[in-house]
Structures are given as C-alpha cells and as structure tokens.
Amino acid sequence: MASNEFQPLQGMSDIHAPEINLWRMIEERARKLFGCYGYEELRTPALEKLSVFKRSIGDTTDVVQKEMYAFTDRGGRELALCPEGTAGTIRHLAGRGEEGLNARVFYIAPMFRCERPQAGRKRQFHQVGVEATGEPNPLADAECIALQQHLLEAWGLDGSKIQISTRGIPADRQPVADGLRNALQPHLDELCEECQRRIDENVLRVIDCKNENCAKVVGQIPSALEFMSDESRKYLDTVILALEKMGIEVEVNPKLVRGLDYYVHTVWEITHDSLGAQNAIAGGGRYEIALGKKAIPGVGFAMGIERVIASLEACGITAEQFAPKGGVWLVSLGEDSLAENMKLACELREKGIRCGMELSAKSMKAQMRKANREGAGKVIIRGEDELAKGTAIIKDMEDGSQEEVSLEDVMRIGFSVAQYEIRNKTNSFEE
C-alpha cells in the first residue's frame, strides 16, 4: 500500500493526541458556557435533503452552487452533507411547532464543503455554533455576540476583532440591489467575468468578490447601508449601543457581506490577524428561514474550530498545556505485586483518580521513565517486601521525596493528589 493510502481524504484530517487536547478544552468550555446562557445541545444528522440547504442558504450562493457534497443516493433521493449548521437546525426546530419558535440550541459538529483546500480552508471542518429562534430583537443579536466574545475569553484567545453590518429588512433587498447595480454599471468592464454575470443574479456576491479589480471598484461605490431604510439602520444602531453598554467593541464594516442568503438585519464576522487570507474564525447573524410555509426568525453564529485552534497556537497556547497529567503511576516489582497493583489500580480509578501501570514485568527504570512521560504526580512502588508488610513506597515526582506508608494511606494520598489537581486549576471554565 502506498504511504498516502493511510492519509485521510484531501482537505480532511484525523484529529489525534496531543492536538485533541485543545479540541477537548474548546468543546468542554463551550458546553459549560452555553449552559450558562440557557442553550441546549442539538445533534442533527450530517446528511440532509438537498432542498434544506437550497431553500435556506440560497440557490445562487457559492456554498450551494460550488461547494456542497451533493449526490443522489441509491433510492434516487437528492442529498447533501451539511455545509453549515443553521439549515439543519432550523429544519429540526420547524418540526417542533411552537416550541421551535422560541428555542436556544447549540451544536458542535463536522461540516463539509468541497472547496479548493488551502491553509485554513478544509473540506471537512468543525463548527461550534448556536441558534436562538424568536422575533427580531436587537438585544437578542447583541447577547449572541456577547456570548461569542465570552466564549473567546473562556478559550483564552486574545486579539480577535468583531466586524458588524446589516443586511436590512427583506423590503430593503430590492432598493439595495438596484442601488448597488446602478453604482456598479459604469464599472462593468472592470469587474471579473464571474461578477459581470453575478451583478444581475446576486449583486451582493460582487461586493464580496475577492478579485483585486472588483474590490477596487467596490471601494469606489456607496455601501449597501446607504440604500437601506431608517428602520434597518436604527436596528443596527441599537445592537451596537447594547454591545457598547456591555463593553464589547465592534467595528462597523458596511462592505461586510456574508456568503449566505438567509440573513436579515445584523450580520457579523470575527477575524484573527494571525490567520492570513482565511482569517475569519467565526460568522453570524440574524436570519429568516422558510422551509415550510412559515419563515422562522432567529439569530446565531458558528465558529470554525480549526481556525480557532490555529489562532490559539499563534498566541502560544498549545495542546500540551491541556494534556491529561497528574494522578498516580503504580510501579510493580515482581509478578505478585503486578497482580496486587492491578487490584489497587481498580480501587484508585473507582475513586476517580487518574492511575496507570505497566501490565507486564519491566525494570524499575523503565517503569519510572513511563511514569515521567505520563506526567504522574506520585509514583506508588510495591515489591515483595512492601506486599508482606502491607505498605507501599510513595514518591513525589515534583520534589523527588519518598516515604513508606500503609495501604490505607495510599488511597488517602491518591485522593489528595486528585484534590490538589482540581484546586490548582485557575480558569473557572476548566473542569
């Protein structure tokens, strides 16, 4: 088998130790914080009907047109792997009737987009996201952004920036599209080929185009905000004021266009300078999604875990810091103590103490080396002598001190090691 036979598909990754420790930290702290804000976890299938995405994200978006893993299954059904979490969440909530219209849910799940893989852009990536359904309310939008800011703090990530704008109310769509189209018309020749087509189809995509020439043109024309109703602008002002009151700084970026069509009113993006071209660690906004007859209004966000991890690492926060360590390591000298230590290990683990041992006879030196590698706080050594006396030798791995204690004391000391580890955690979001 060629060596690349063992690699996952292009743009996808196996996530393993030590990096997995950062993932666990991110997920555990997110779950804890979401609980504080009253969000319940939701797990929807990775596969949905294609129509769920077409009707929510929008037929003319890049995500739907170019990036979805869409296929027809053996039963002739048109399906797609989730490119994002909002559509499936709203599909679920729509099925829960009244209850679904006023719900707060969060998800931590893999998403799939068949994009050209590059730094920060994967084909399978993971999102931590929330959705809060309910009638438009600028305070709900502000609270959602505050939750996101809080989450970044819980993860220990400094240096991110929040950019905010508005897509306005649905009635603004036509005047905004007309206004932008008219402003772009004199520059049509300067736009890239795709934008020359998109200008009629979905003019906001032109504002979002990464082509240098297109960006130059967009820089010269009025922003979408200028074609919006007072109602929409006032809504955005109220969101910003509420955020100011909570001490959360945001930058208004009228050129911010999110690549998904379900947004109304507030949209935002969080970037981190360490990331280069794909610098968005999160995106969010208020939306209206109609999968049945009735549109469901809500607000939410999703943060890309891979990009959060890249930002954390750029800030010097490493997976090793969250690797499991502490507890005790049992060293067995001789076959009898091996059997006795297995019994002792069961008792310690039953008490919730992290405990490891070799399961075959090894030299004392090899066992101590392993204890060190595993980051044990204490080592418990038992040989024939100790077994006969009902004692054990306990070695403190930090200061190197050693003492012989009775077997009852072994349990007590093991327990105090576990207690000590809990006391030493400083961040209130650490378990």
Our finding on whether 113 is near ligand HAM (CB under 6 A) is yes
Residue found by looking up tokens 């994200």 in the block: 57
Report the site for ligand HAM in 241-260 (rule: CB under 6 A). 260
**Which one of the spans 159-167, 198-206, 282-290, 370-378 is the region binding ligand HAM (CB under 6 A)?**
282-290
Contact mark string toward ligand HAM, 299..318, x via CB under 6 A: -xxx-x-xx-----------
The number of angstroms, rounded, from the C-alpha of 384 to the middle of its chain's C-alpha atoms is 51
Only one of the segments 124-132, 161-169, 232-240, 373-381 lies at the binding site for ligand HAM (rule: CB under 6 A); that segment is 124-132
Tokens of 307: 């990009």
Q: How many residues bind ligand HAM (CB under 6 A)?
A: 25
58 sits near ligand HAM (criterion: CB under 6 A)? no
Q: Does 131 bind ligand HAM (CB under 6 A)?
A: yes
Question: Between residue 149 and residue 168, which ones bind ligand HAM under the rule CB under 6 A?
Answer: none
Q: What are phi and psi of 67, to 5 degrees?
A: -110, -5
125 touching ligand HAM, by CB under 6 A = yes
Minimum distance, C-beta of residue 63 to ligand HAM, in the bound complex (Å): 7
Smallest distance from the beta carbon of 86 to ligand HAM, in angstroms?
4
Put residue 339 in one of left, alpha, beta given phi > 0 → left and psi -120 to 50 → alpha.
Answer: alpha
Q: Which residue has its beta carbon closest to ligand HAM?
A: 304
User: Which one among 283, 326, 327, 377 touches ligand HAM, defined by CB under 6 A?
Assistant: 283
Residues 408 and 219: their CA atoms lie apart, in Å, by 75
CA distance 292 to 295: 7
- Nearest distance, CB of residue 343 and ligand HAM, angstroms: 48
Under the binding rule (CB under 6 A), the answer on residue 88 touching ligand HAM is no
User: Is 326 among the residues that bind ligand HAM (CB under 6 A)?
Assistant: no
**What residues make contact with ligand HAM under the rule CB under 6 A?**
84-86, 113, 115, 121-122, 125, 127, 129, 131, 260, 280-285, 287, 300-302, 304, 306-307
